[in-house]
A = this chain, B = another copy of it.
Amino acid sequence: MGEFELIRKFFQRPVRRSPLGVGDDCALLAPAPGMQLAVSSDMLVEGRHFFADVNPQLLGHKALAVNLSDLAACGARPLAFTLALSLPRADAAWCQAFSDGLFALAAQHDCELVGGDTTQGPLNLCITVFGEVPTGQALLRSGAQVGDDIWVSGTLGDARLALDALLRQHALPPAVLAQARQRLEQPTPRLALGQALRGIASSCLDVSDGLLGDLGHILDASGVGACIDANITRGLLHARRHPLMAALATTRIDACTLAGGDDYELCFTAPASAQTAVREAAQQSATPVTCIGRIEAQRGVRVIAPGGQQLPLRFAAFDHFA
């Protein structure tokens, strides 16, 4: 199977919305009047973002999901994406499974593949995703205000719990691992919530490198600090709810929920006066949200334990070169 047959067979689908899709030098996109185009690129590298023996269907899902999560974080509606793919060899079964996972998620969010590149080399996936957002309404990192509530969607830390178990750093009961592993391998981009938060959230991003590190980007961009309630964040580790997990150490829970990474949940701020609006946006998008703390004038992040004392922070956000 040659390069062009591979593209035709697994990655060329007719486009319905874009004026021109796969097969020319460029794809053409035409955002509707009054709309800005939101763009994000994410690259996934074997051995860094996934194991060499990863299920290719799950990888197809995840490669697109982590990009869609960036659109969710700015409140954009998905339109299209490009895929640049470096593959060690043209393996038909692998490509079929990968494209099944990719297109299943794409169809779910009405996001069409419009172009890309295929090359031979170490396994590497680079997706660039395009969405539209009404001009001036994109959710940014820079709008958090002192007194705002800090919210996160869904649950936190289960992906990291699964990763540590897969790396044999600790054991998990099989039923718990299966569920946590799904969070690691099949993250859910919170697109409906992101769009519902337009005009409500004062800042927003998606948690990919760990809550505290990513929240730090909001704090830096907004020139503020934050106080987080560890009693609440500890409750966000879904695996903890399993009866077999009652003995899980608090330090591990904190490491997973505060600095786990790979969550792809939204972390956002909103004025206290918008609490009802936030809860309505959550209900409308069928996405649970939890208020975990508050924006303060004092720079930095303080995490307060149930007894009222401040937790020593030994966590850093994931850094590829640290």
Interface set, chain A 187-220, CB cutoff 8 A to B:
204-206
CA distance A90 to B116 in the complex (A): 27
Least Cβ–Cβ distance between A236 and chain B, in angstroms: 21
Determine whether A6 belongs to the interface, using a CB cutoff of 8 Å to chain B.
yes
Interface set, chain A 17-40, CB cutoff 8 A to B:
19-20, 23-31, 33, 36-40
Determine whether A1 belongs to the interface, using a CB cutoff of 8 Å to chain B.
yes
Interface set, chain A 89-148, CB cutoff 8 A to B:
89-90, 114-122, 124, 126, 128, 130-131, 133, 135, 138, 140-142
Determine whether A301 belongs to the interface, using a CB cutoff of 8 Å to chain B.
no
- B321 contacts A71, C-beta separation under 8 Å: no
CA distance A321 to B128 in the complex (A): 23
Contacts of A74 in B (CB 8 A): 24-26, 28
- Looking at the complex, which one of B41, B48, B119, B142 makes contact with A320 (CB distance below 8 Å)? B119
Q: Which residue of B lies closest to A204 (CB)?
A: B25
Contacts of A122 in B (CB 8 A): 45, 121-122, 124
- A25 contacts B115, C-beta separation under 8 Å: no
Determine whether A12 belongs to the interface, using a CB cutoff of 8 Å to chain B.
no
- Looking at the complex, which one of B43, B76, B115, B138 makes contact with A86 (CB distance below 8 Å)? B43
Contacts of A133 in B (CB 8 A): 28
- Given the interface pairs A3-B320, A90-B321, A128-B82, the reply to whether A120 lies near B19 with Cβ below 8 Å is no
Determine whether A221 belongs to the interface, using a CB cutoff of 8 Å to chain B.
yes
Contacts of A121 in B (CB 8 A): 45-48, 122, 124
CA distance A23 to B90 in the complex (A): 36
- Given the interface pairs A48-B119, A82-B128, A119-B320, the reply to whether A138 lies near B41 with Cβ below 8 Å is no
Annotate A278-322 by CB proximity to B: 1 below 8 A, 0 otherwise: 000000000000000000000000000000000000000001111
Q: Which residue of B lies closest to A19 (CB)?
A: B36
- Given the interface pairs A25-B70, A86-B124, A120-B321, the reply to whether A30 lies near B37 with Cβ below 8 Å is yes
- A205 contacts B25, C-beta separation under 8 Å: yes
Best-surrounded residue of A73, A116, A204 (most CB of chain B within 10 A): A116
Contacts of A42 in B (CB 8 A): 84, 117
11 A-B pairs with C-beta separation under 8 A? A3-B321, A3-B322, A23-B141, A26-B71, A27-B39, A39-B115, A43-B85, A45-B121, A89-B321, A121-B122, A121-B124
